[in-house]
Structure 1
């Protein structure tokens, strides 16, 4: 089984190199790992005590970020290493000031793992949510690294719970402690004899609460809003935007902010051409521009959406007509009633927000119009649904402190 796993990793690397010819993200994945060990050796301080945090991508990094910052404050002697598997995490956070070192994770081959462990010799390692690289995990178990998995969710179909999953169960046993999001995950781990586990919840609640407390003031957005009721649609895809066009056209006294998931200029311009109301792009707003006539704002830059939600009265989260909805908590923490597409059931927080009355899943433009019409016509309904979202986030904070106590213990 180990041989097959190592063969699979090599096949993945070969596939990435082939894909790099055609795919920009694969190209970044390959280029980012060239000469990586030389860069690591030059960067690391000899004898430094390393606390290593690994995240697959940007979303997992944001889950781990509250713990990174809490550990840095509690144990300032540690040097923080952050690694990413995906370019969508590394390229955005490669200059993250909360870490001493930020790198791509070298592919999980035995040779790479030996070199990585020789350079860093981590005292503590924290993997976020889903990453299970067998060679890294087993090497850390042998070396005595204290290893933790946080904000994880387990499901019956995963390889750990299959008869042929012995290698991955061995890798799972390398973790000194696993912090899961729900009781069902804890029970699944218990069914295979793993009991070093705690239902700590999801650190994203702590992260979005911290973001809300320190949300940026965005002067251009404030000038655009100018006291009007604002509908914010975040991380939208084309199928989401098809539904939103009807609302934008019908509710002329509501201003709309649309933040597409892919900020391709041609796509945004094509969308603007389909909207009769005056629109503007965020990056094209000058300090003295008159925005009094603008009624639709397109956010064509990354990194500000979590602060844009503070200006909203209602919200829509994209992705629910594709692989799955994007981050609902960034909007919920500001008390926005939410709508999203039908593919949300893999996301516990989205299910909970629907159950508590703060959110609604819609399958077509008619259902979206019905949902928004009821809120638009009732300040009380808007307040009630928004407060349900805000209270839900507040009730689920605290996972970071719970995890930190165990690590420091």
Structure 2
């Protein structure tokens, strides 16, 4: 199976190069890895030990961030290196202040694994949620460098639990300890003989709860909202935006804030066609105070505001449910507002939990959205239930860092 894995990696590299000629993300993927080891050598002193955090993308960074920051708080002398697989993580967090170096992860080959681990000299490697790379895991194992998975989650349909999944199961044996989100994951790992796991929960709960307590105020957004009820639509894609446009027309007494997942000029222009009288956040910044609040719809055309926007909402709509899967529902729930999202949420335990508690609704079409909006708009308890749910599940970060303290003893 290793030969097939190698072919898959090389095929992926070839496809990315082809796509890079016309796709921005693919181009960043290639450019960011060019001369990567020379850039690491310029930035990182490999005579010193580092804690290596790897994140697939931005969502995983936010998921593991609370652990990273807690380590830095308790052990400020520790050096930290971060790698990202995806441009959507690296490009947004490449200047994150608490890391001594932030890089793209080179593709998983035997040569790259040896070079990277020699270059960053990790005393500990921490991967968040998923991404299982054979050569990186194997090389860490050969060098007796502890590897931990935090906020891990497993499902029955994954290859690890298939009769033909022996190669992938071997990757899991290189992990020193798993911190898992739910009991199902614990049970699944036990079925393949893996016992070195702890049920800790999801570190995202710690992150979003802390952020909700200290979210920055957005005076322009507050002025836009005024005293009207607000729906915040976060991380939206075109199918989401088309539904929100209908909802906006049906409820002129509400304000709508649309924060799309992609903020490229083309996509923003398409959103403006759906909401022809909307104002963009960039334009709002140039508007006189007297004019702020005249529009019904605010389009967020920059990065970094979404998690603070939920503080101004009465209901949240979370995008992605008509595509690969919904985005982060917990950021909204932490602010005590109920959430609505599309039909593809089966991979997200928190979405299932919020639905069961009556603090969220999944929709598949306009009629279902209209009904969900009306019901949640009248339900004064749903938001409180969402917030209580988040707060009740905090604590994973402390549990993980307490465990890690065993590795940090002199």
Which range moved further: 231-240 or 388-397? 231-240
After superposing the two structures, state which structure 1 stretch, 162-171 or 234-243, moved more: 162-171
Superposition deviation, residue 242 in structure 1:
2.0
| Corresponding residue of 1:284 | 283
CA 22–176 in structure 1, closer or farther in 2 if over 3 Å, else same: same
Q: Mean Cα displacement is larger for which, 257-266 or 206-215?
A: 257-266
1:270 deviation in Å? 3.9
1:215 and 2:212 matched: no
Secondary structure of residue in 1 paired with 2:207 = helix
Decide whether the 8 Å contact of 1:249 with 1:275 is kept in 2: no
Per-residue deviation, residues 199-244 of structure 1 (Å, max 9, x unmatched): 1111011111122122111121011112221111111122112222
Contact 1:220 / 1:287 at 8 angstroms: preserved in 2? no
User: Per the alignment, in what secondary structure is the counterpart of residue 122 of structure 2?
Assistant: coil
Q: Which position in structure 2 is the counterpart of 1:31?
A: 31
Q: Residue 97 of structure 2: SS of its match in structure 1?
A: coil
Name the CA distance, whole Å, in 2 between partners of 1:85 and 1:51: 17
Distance verdict in 2 for CA 1:267–1:43, change over 3 Å: closer
Contact 1:161 1:192 in 2 (8 A): yes
Aligned pairs for 1:10-29 (under 5 A) are 10-29=10-29
**Partner in structure 2 of residue 339 of structure 1:** 340
2:46/2:118 contact within 8 Å kept: no
Within 5 Å, give how 1:75-224 maps onto structure 2: 75-224=75-224
**In structure 2, what is the equivalent of residue 314 of structure 1?**
315
Cα offset for 1:250?
Answer: 2.1
Task: Name 2:61's counterpart in structure 1.
Answer: 61
Q: Which moved more, 1:260-269 or 1:81-90?
A: 260-269
CA distance in 2, matches of 1:274, 1:43: 46
Structure 2 SS opposite 1:123: strand
What secondary structure sits across from 2:48 in the alignment?
coil
Q: Distance in 1 between matches of 2:260 and 2:178?
A: 35
Instruction: Compute the displacement of 1:315 (Å).
Output: 1.2
**Superposed CA RMSD:** 1.5
Count of residue pairs brought into register by the alignment = 404
Match of 1:356 in 2: 357
Is 1:388 matched up with 2:389? no
- Compute the displacement of 1:312 (Å): 0.6
- Give the distance between the partners of 2:120 and 2:274, measured in 1 at CA: 53
Deviations 1:253-272, CA, capped at 9 Å, x for gaps: 21111112222334434433
Distance between the aligned counterparts of 1:263 and 1:351, measured in 2?
Answer: 29
* Change beyond 3 A, Cα 1:225–1:137: same
Secondary structure of 1:343's match? coil
State the shift of 1:10 in Å: 2.0
1:41: which partner in 2? 41
CA distance in 2, matches of 1:58, 1:71: 19
Match of 1:369 in 2: 370
